[in-house]
Structure 1
Amino acid sequence: MEIDPKFNFKGNSGSDPVCPSALGYFFPAEFHKHEATWLSWPHKEASWPGKIESIYPAYSEFVACLAKGEKVNIMVADAAMQTFACEQLYRAEADMNQVVFHHFPTNDAWCRDHGPSFLLNQDKEMGKAIVDWGYNAWGNKYPPYDLDNLIPEKVALILKIPCFKPGIIMEGGSVDFNGKGTLITTEACLLNPNRNPQHSREEIENILRDYYGVRQLLWLKDGIIGDDTDGHVDDLTRFVSENKVVTVVESDKKDENYQVLKENLEMLQAFRLPDGQSLDIVELPMPSPVIYENTRLPASYANFYIANKHVIVPTFRDKNDEKALDIISGCFPDRKVVGIDSWDLIWGLGSFHCLSQQEPAYL
């Protein structure tokens, strides 16, 4: 079956006869080999008030690490922003032969949530596709977001691949995948009335099955304190293989996150995959509370990014940094685990996973 890449498939309730899953498309796990990583260059001062200049060394180190194993596509507003980005990346000694700039203006840097969601097809001849989920800046918290909302379709047009439009709000950080038909998410985010109040839980599940090509949804409840996304799962629990997850836990019973993370762990222990197998669960510590200007920030080691050759983990100048790196290293024997200081980045309420979106490769 041939698909004209100029045609946008528009779904409505998840029962669209030309939805991606009906055509054989699916969303691979992040640990699947990448063709590239997509980023939106940080420029919005309001996201890092008083600190935006301090984030560029860590961000550029992140890009330099990515470029050692895959192409890095970076969206910038114009030539001036590209020149500034190049200056920062040269200082980090990034391989600029691996970096490609696209003049696509954005409102903010959180490409995990506003960027393209890439699908592969069981039939390689069908090529890739993109799902263009609606984006409203986590429940209309940070307008404007009109430029961000245009990004998936722009990427689909330059790559000349199909672009599906389910017609609901969805953020990449709210879901995680094992690549074999299972998706994990949270009720706090996906069922929040500031996203899709017109849809029931069952309707949302059907849309996710149809447009991500999954069969099973596992629901956790709440996210960590300080997370302005209403509980993104990429700060909580991540698939590191088809049946293994790492999940953050809090050992201090007086900490605000203790009970929430304890309940999520108990839910994970009760979950079963479609073949009846239980999840292999690896517990990951939380850092000590990171507080800036009397605000507790959503610091979590779970916000790591799995690249082709590396796993890039945020660190927080904390006693648990090395322990977290060691635990994550044990989950990825075929990749080098790299910790990059996220002390300033986290003032923007996100870290490396929130900033990036993978483009999978056909194996």
Structure 2
Amino acid sequence: MTSTDYRYRMPAEWHPHSATQLHWPSNRETWPGERLSRVESVYLNIIDALHRYEPIILLVDEDSSEKTVREKLINYGIDIGMVQIYSLPIDDVWARDCGPIFVQHLDKLDRYAITDWEYNAWGEKYPPFDSDNKLPEWFAENFNLEHFNTNMVLEGGSIETNGEGILLTTESVLLNENRNPNLTKAEIEKTVKHYLGMDKIIWLKNGLAGDDTDGHIDDLSRFLNRNTILTMIADDPNDINYKALQENYEILKSSTDQDGNHFNIITLPLPKTKIEGTTVDGSEYVPASYANFYIANNVVLLPLYDKRYDEEVMDIFREFFPDRDVIGIECADLVWGQGSIHCITQQLYGIKS
């Protein structure tokens, strides 16, 4: 297929989904001791909320008991008819980063394809990751979907689009030598623009302290609609994240959309990110961020962390998504594993139930 024949673009997250991909937590290195049961409780809350709005494709590692997971869902009151469970090898829960990134045909709008990027667990930080890296191909084969290999490392949490050809990302991730050391910035930009159908990339700089992905965009800045960006800021100049967030905010203020107009920028305060003790990789910080929300069919799932700001944030989301329910979910036990709702979900298209 030549470049001129490739007529696809990644849709915005608010584009109607056919399902959501989730992985049931089972990795004991990510969730040691009683952390596993605590994160399972968060998962049950998320699945309970989400399955009322769209189907869920739930992957369960083949070494775990599919029957036990099914029983937990049923006992929680979840309609199991809305959850398709598949048992196969998976390494961890981060569906956003290893799952299929879908693109929509620009002329035949009911036609979708999977772009298959390489996944190396954020620079080979957490082996093994080979099973998760195979998931886009599994989806393509299992659901009979068109499939494009890109031969470049890229995670879904590192990109954000308004569906109109504008993409947000960070230099700290896409230009990191632990991803694609043999590619220049120009080569990376060309590949991303081609396979995702983007006209313009807005490069932010760095991410949050404690973000082991090196700074994913979905903890920093997200589109609320085609020309409105929500971005996180820190009010306290002594906050460890203050400088990085201010720098990103200034870049966004000077950036323009697909029509050459400046974006409407909405700022939100960063919740508390310093934790008691440390995470499994020794960090005193977690990437707790209200930007890690997930837009699904007729609903927005919003992570909650900090009672100083939670209600204010809920009100802002109700304002921008008046036609969707906004459901807040306590995510302190989830973000301890260094990701939140957006990190564990991936929207799917063109999949027949």
Name the TM-score, length of structure 2 as normaliser. 0.94
1:309 to 266, 282, 298: 298
| 1:3-82 → structure 2 map (5 Å cutoff) | 17-18=1-2, 22-50=5-33, 51-78=35-62, 80-82=64-66
- Gapped regions of structure 2 (runs ≥ 5): 279-283
Preserved contact between residue 252 and residue 263 of structure 2 (Cα < 8 Å):
yes
Preserved contact between residue 111 and residue 350 of structure 2 (Cα < 8 Å):
no
d(CA) in 2 for partners of 1:243, 1:207? 24
Deviates more, 1:182-191 or 1:72-81: 72-81
2:219 to 235, 239, 245: 235
Aligned residues between the structures: 345
- Gapped regions of structure 1 (runs ≥ 5): 1-16
| 1:137-286 → structure 2 map (5 Å cutoff) | 137-286=121-270
Deviation at 1:48, TM superposition (A): 2.0
Structure 2 residue identity aligned to 1:342: C
d(CA) in 2 for partners of 1:89, 1:194? 38
1:329 to 318, 333, 336: 318
Q: Deviations over 1:203-258 (max 9, x none)?
A: 00100011101111001000011100000000000011111111111111110111
Deviation at 1:324, TM superposition (A): 1.5
Preserved contact between residue 306 and residue 312 of structure 1 (Cα < 8 Å):
yes
Preserved contact between residue 110 and residue 350 of structure 2 (Cα < 8 Å):
no
Preserved contact between residue 68 and residue 309 of structure 1 (Cα < 8 Å):
no
d(CA) in 1 for partners of 2:190, 2:114? 18
d(CA) in 2 for partners of 1:316, 1:105? 32
Is 1:95 the counterpart of 2:79 in the alignment? yes
Preserved contact between residue 22 and residue 210 of structure 1 (Cα < 8 Å):
no
Is 1:129 the counterpart of 2:118 in the alignment? no
CA gap 1:183/1:22 in 2 versus in 1, 3 angstroms: farther
Deviation at 1:199, TM superposition (A): 0.4
Name the TM-score, length of structure 1 as normaliser. 0.91
2:308 to 319, 326, 338: 319
| Cα-Cα RMSD | 1.6
Preserved contact between residue 104 and residue 151 of structure 1 (Cα < 8 Å):
no
Structure 2 residue identity aligned to 1:325: M
What does residue 287 of structure 2 align with? 298
Q: Deviations over 1:138-164 (max 9, x none)?
A: 000000101001100000001111111
Deviation at 1:80, TM superposition (A): 4.9
Structure 1 residue identity aligned to 2:314: L
Structure 2 residue identity aligned to 1:35: S
Same amino acid, percent of matched pairs? 41
Is 1:360 the counterpart of 2:349 in the alignment? yes
d(CA) in 2 for partners of 1:338, 1:114? 25
Deviation at 1:83, TM superposition (A): 1.6
d(CA) in 1 for partners of 2:334, 2:274? 12
* Secondary structure of the structure 2 residue equivalent to 1:337: strand
Deviation at 1:167, TM superposition (A): 0.3
Structure 2 residue identity aligned to 1:161: L
Structure 2 residue identity aligned to 1:231: G
